[in-house]
Copies of this chain bind each other. A is one copy, B any other.
Amino acid sequence: MTQLFDLEHGEEFGMFVLIKQADVRVARNGNPFIAFRFQDPSGAMDGMYWSATDKEVATFQAGKVAFLRGTRDTYQGRPQVKIEGLRLAEEGEPNDPTMYVEHIEVKQEDLEKELEDALFLIKEPNISRVVRKILHQVGDDFYTYPAAKRNHHALAGGLVLHTLTMVRIAKGLLEIYPHLNASLLIGGILLHDVGKTTELSGPISTEYTLKGKMMGHIVIVTEMIDRACQEIGIDPETEAIILLKHVVLAHHGKQEYGSPILPQILEAEVIHFIDDLDAKINMISDALETTEVGSFSAQIYPLDRREYYKPTFK
B183, A214: Cβ atoms closer than 8 Å = no
* A interface residue numbers (CB < 8 A to B): 27-30, 33, 48, 50, 123-124, 165, 168-169, 172-173, 176-177, 179, 181, 183-184, 210-211, 213-216, 218-219, 222-223, 226-227, 230, 237, 239-240, 242-243, 245-246, 249, 255-266, 269-270, 273, 276-277, 280-281, 284-285, 288, 296, 304, 306-314
Known contacts A168-B176, A183-B313; is-contact A249 B219 (Cβ 8 Å)? yes
Question: How many copies, total?
Answer: 6
A173 touches B183 (CB 8 A): no
Known contacts A179-B285, A311-B184, A314-B123; decide if A261 and B230 are in contact (CB<8 Å).
Answer: no
Cα(A292)–Cα(B173), bound, Å: 23
User: Whose C-beta in chain B lies nearest to the C-beta of A125?
Assistant: B313
Q: Which of A168, A177, A304, A307 has the most CB of B within 10 A?
A: A177
Dominant secondary structure at the A interface? helix
Partner of A261 from the list B210, B258, B312 (CB cut-off 8 Å) is B258
Tell whether, in the assembled complex, residue B239 and residue A285 are in contact, meaning their CB atoms are under 8 Å apart: no
A261 lies within 8 A of B215 (CB)? yes
A56 CB → nearest B CB, Å: 16
Which residue of chain B lies nearest to A262 when distances are taken between CB atoms in the complex?
Answer: B306
Separation in Å of the A52 CB from the closest CB of chain B?
Answer: 13
Tell me the nearest residue of chain B to A270, going by C-beta. B281
Return chain B residues, CB-CB under 8 Å to A288. 266
Distance of A218 Cα from B307 Cα, bound (Å): 20
CB distance from A256 to the nearest CB of B (A): 5
Whether A259 pairs with B260 at a CB distance below 8 angstroms is yes
Bound Cα distance A56, B27 (Å) = 23
- Complexed CA–CA distance, A42 and B168 (Å): 33
Decide: A210 near B309, CB < 8 A? Known: A30-B48, A30-B50, A266-B288. yes
| Complex interface: chain B residues within 8 A of A219 (CB) | 219, 222, 245, 249, 260-261
| Residues in chain B near residue A309, CB distance under 8 A | 210, 213-214, 243, 264-265
Known: A214-B246, A215-B242, A270-B277. 15 other contacts (CB 8 A): A28-B29, A29-B50, A172-B176, A179-B285, A183-B313, A213-B261, A213-B296, A215-B222, A219-B260, A226-B227, A255-B256, A264-B308, A264-B309, A265-B308, A266-B281
Output the least CB separation between A276 and chain B (Å): 7
Q: Which of A183, A223, A266, A281 has the most CB of B within 10 A?
A: A266
Which residues of B have CB within 8 Å of A176?
165, 168-169, 172
Query: Which residues from B are CB-within-8-Å of A184?
Result: 311
A75 nearest CB neighbor, chain B only: B30
Roughly how many angstroms separate A295 CA and B30 CA in the complex, as a whole number? 21
Q: Given A255-B256, A265-B308, A265-B311, A173 and B181 touching (CB < 8 A)?
A: no
